[in-house]
Chains A and B, each alone.
Chain A
């Protein structure tokens, strides 16, 4: 996030696109609702009429995967009417002309044809968002989990730069991160192209710096593989040894049958986790790890805030901290790593090597933590990025994007679009929440959420057991008929193994980030007894 949660309740206007905060980020949603009670305006762009959409001044139910067309349509109006922030565009950005050339092809009428929101509503939205400054824009996986995910993100950034809503409080481009420490795992360099602190592995000087710090030679320069490439490498033998730490890939990746085939093909699979799960079934070695509250450390949240995690109980049996396990493996290769606690790792290594964390030390994290960038020990941390329009690379670059449809769209055989996500009471594959007293009582099974119109057309009753089928597989589960879901859509989560949406989802990826298109594939819904 460029901005912070503490700004939410003071914001004047929100555009929430592809984010169902009340279920996926419930506490963040409370601050949005607080702002609404104080008179803030809310525009929700989402195919589903979820709780915040119900509270919105304007709900724009665009078709799944049509975000770019919709956003380009908005920018078309902003530029055509001269409603954009010309001063910001002139002084803080480049390539406005390129953007203008592209979005000029997306007249409201053309955009409306693609996104399904009437042209007049697109004009009205453009008028509204240009009349309040700043507008805070938030998004989640509804933007990124598409084959055009990268372009979706760029389009969102284009819009906020065009409106001059970047570099100020209560504005910005704010992706709410899904996992507690997905920000941190990126920051720490658990990515194939960067060292900790986003320092590129291809840069010789940076490699030399890490070689000195780690006391090694010849750090690899070539960018490594991303998860889907690793998985495919298991099948063709390019990847012989695969080490999975704390991810239940067998349930979370699209097309479970394909994923399980890949995992079963692994020559040597190490899984390090806290529970046996669907992925450990394929392991050759399983390493038991200490869990949350069983060791000290830090998490970094969506707003770049580094906060402490503290021990409250003892890990069971022989379970050990993950950092200890990696350190022990290094020792077996003759490397003796000095840092012998999370605190030593952070204070003596990470914060020394990654400039944006230079000022963050454990002794400064006793209260509310610190938000990076925080380069020096007397630096207070950074609540919002790009102050006064100063971007990391100098000027903000407009990158115009063309709309492209999802990789798989409904047809005669599979007439509905399946979109997926998370529900409030559970988290991911329930390895944790499924073992918490009471949470299964609140939500005990998966449902296929369908619209009343489709339910009526297919003669499906509320709670009736139905089959949902895609080109990859089929699941049997109860129908939940709800006005949240528009006609033509089935919505499911991936919390329960038997009816996991990932039996159906499409392993088609954004070709830049390799993010899978969890938000769109084609399915058919069938009554079960009708087929007998």
Chain B
């Protein structure tokens, strides 16, 4: 066992055979920044932000893609590493529309920048402001957005689908969306297209998402570290600093995915998957991610209704419940409890079904209670 040790920032620590530098460092509480790395998928080493210095190696090594070997001596924040990361970030900032670091805020400190962003909140502010990995790292490493010549304009954004806004000007080609689509959800709707400065995330034939294999699960949006991919339904409604996150269970199929409800002013404005949670491990489908706003429909039933001829009239709870109870008592008295029957709901919570079967059994005294389990 003694051979499975390496030096991490001067400390002798252990590693598991096959473990990457990134994994071993995380396990020992050392944070190495990443952009393209997506947990549970094949490392691509595309962004190089996770580079570390390995003694004796000619170049810096990508921590996400390099396995640890015995006796390695690794520095994760040496001057050379920091300078390299800064340069990489500056190149990324110049590669597209990443003006937030200097841009409308131009602030010296993160807190000051956040304060100004609040004031400026509107169409001009990137929808990912405050929730952007690139922005966060640019501040952390004091990257200068104007050090390199800005890249030519990106293709126009794609808005022609109901769910996902694609802003190519904010894409850093990290490939996390590809990993999410091809390795996590395995829908295989997108890939890299074109070359060099023209390179772009494309569907087959570079057609709009709506005409591709995309099933709008939105996993790519959840994986995007910048504002390149945005949930259209949340655009202009969601700001990371204005929402409370509440964990719940999806109301659709029997998988029971764990969701974060992002709630702003008592309204759900976005839904994301709970990472590392069972059973869905950070995944959702189109209904789970985008099927939440029915509860705010104006068509909701809002008051008890009692039939009068061909119409319904509004009633109080007392009146409606007295009527139901009275009629049930009458039917039981005249025809016995088995003249009543009830169907419970397979969509609602357990406790509702429990109380309904209790009402039928303990109060009405009939076992005529069923639900759609058989279909």
Contact = CB atoms under 8 A, between A and B. Distances in A.
Question: Are the chains A and B members of one assembly?
Answer: yes
Interface stretch (A77-85, A120-128, A269-277, A451-459): A269-277
Given A309-B248, A425-B287, A329 B363 contact: yes
Contacts, number: 464
Interface stretch (A157-165, A232-240, A385-393, A466-474): A232-240
B365 interface: yes
A434 B348 CA distance: 18
Interface stretch (A86-94, A317-325, A406-414): A317-325
B30 interface: no
Interface stretch (B73-81, B106-114, B121-129, B323-331): B323-331
Size category, B interface: 35 or more
A298 B341 contact: no
A289 B150 CA distance: 56
B5 interface: no
Interface residues of A, number: 149
A301 B256 contact: yes
Contacts of A326: 352, 355-356, 358-359
Interface string A101-122: 0000000000000000000000
Interface string A328-351: 111011010100001001100110
Given A293-B248, A309-B349, A436 B263 contact: no
A465 interface: no
Indicate the member of B233, B290, B340, B345 with the most A CB atoms within 10 Å: B345
B19 interface: no
A446 interface: no
B367 A222 contact: yes
Nearest to B308: A284
A177 B373 CA distance: 9
B242 interface: no
B146 interface: no
B232 interface: yes
A404 interface: no
Contacts of A24: 253
Given A276-B299, A298-B350, A438-B163, A190 B357 contact: yes
A461 to B, nearest CB: 20
Nearest to B318: A328
Contacts of B343: 227, 230, 242-245, 247, 249
Contact of B253 (A178, A219, A295): A178
A284 B307 contact: yes
B291 A427 contact: yes
B9 interface: no
A43 interface: no
B234 to A, nearest CB: 11
Contacts of B250: 180
Indicate the member of A188, A280, A426, A514 with the most B CB atoms within 10 Å: A188
Interface string B312-330: 1000010011111101110
A218 B341 CA distance: 18
A317 B316 CA distance: 11
Given A190-B370, A191-B373, A177 B300 contact: no
A519 B54 CA distance: 62
Given A4-B279, A284-B306, A350-B350, A436 B184 contact: no
A288 B303 contact: yes
Nearest to B302: A317
B247 A308 contact: yes
A514 B375 CA distance: 9
Nearest to B361: A219
Interface string B186-219: 1000000000000000000000000000011100
Nearest first, the 9 A-B pairs at minimum CB distance are A317-B302, A301-B256, A246-B345, A297-B349, A177-B254, A224-B367, A438-B162, A26-B285, A33-B186
Interface of B: 161-163, 183-186, 215-217, 232-233, 246-258, 261, 263, 266-268, 277-281, 283-288, 290-297, 299-307, 312, 317, 320-325, 327-329, 331, 334-335, 337-363, 365-375
Given A245-B342, A309-B349, A329-B328, 8 more contacts: A191-B373, A227-B343, A240-B339, A245-B352, A274-B300, A275-B301, A280-B301, A326-B358
